[in-house]
Amino acid sequence: MVRPVPPSELPEPSPLSARLKEGMTKYSVRLRFRDGREERGAITFVERLGRGRLIDIEREFAMDFDLNELSGIDY
């Protein structure tokens, strides 16, 4: 049997994860990667997997990203 985990025992989400969740409501964001790249577009993000997708309609470009690859996000 699986017991529910009380909220006090759940890991605290990272500040970057919280900004990504907020960024999903924005029309366009800029993702900064640890390797120096910067990409702009709309994002989707699944917090429990730590993965998301960036979509730039103007350039017809899409890419998957991992939370560990990012250094920051700007709105």
pLDDT at residue 72 tops 80? yes
Domain extent for 43: 14-74
In a domain, 7, yes or no: no
- pTM attached to this predicted model: 0.80
In a domain, 43, yes or no: yes
Neighbour count for residue 54 (Cβ, 10 Å): 20
β-partners of residue 44 are 53
In a domain, 4, yes or no: no
Inter-CA distances, 18 with 34, 60, 74, Å: 18, 27, 12
β-partners of residue 41 are 29
Please state the rounded mean pLDDT for residues 58-75.
95
**What's the confidence (pLDDT) of residue 1?**
78
**What's the confidence (pLDDT) of residue 69?**
95
The CATH number of whichever domain residue 44 belongs to comes to 2.30.30.100
**What's the confidence (pLDDT) of residue 75?**
93
* pLDDT tens-digit map of 4-55: 888 887 777 789 999 999 999 999 999 999 999 999 999 999 998 999 999 9
In a domain, 9, yes or no: no
In a domain, 8, yes or no: no
Going 72 to 41 to 23 to 67, the CA torsion angle's sign is: negative
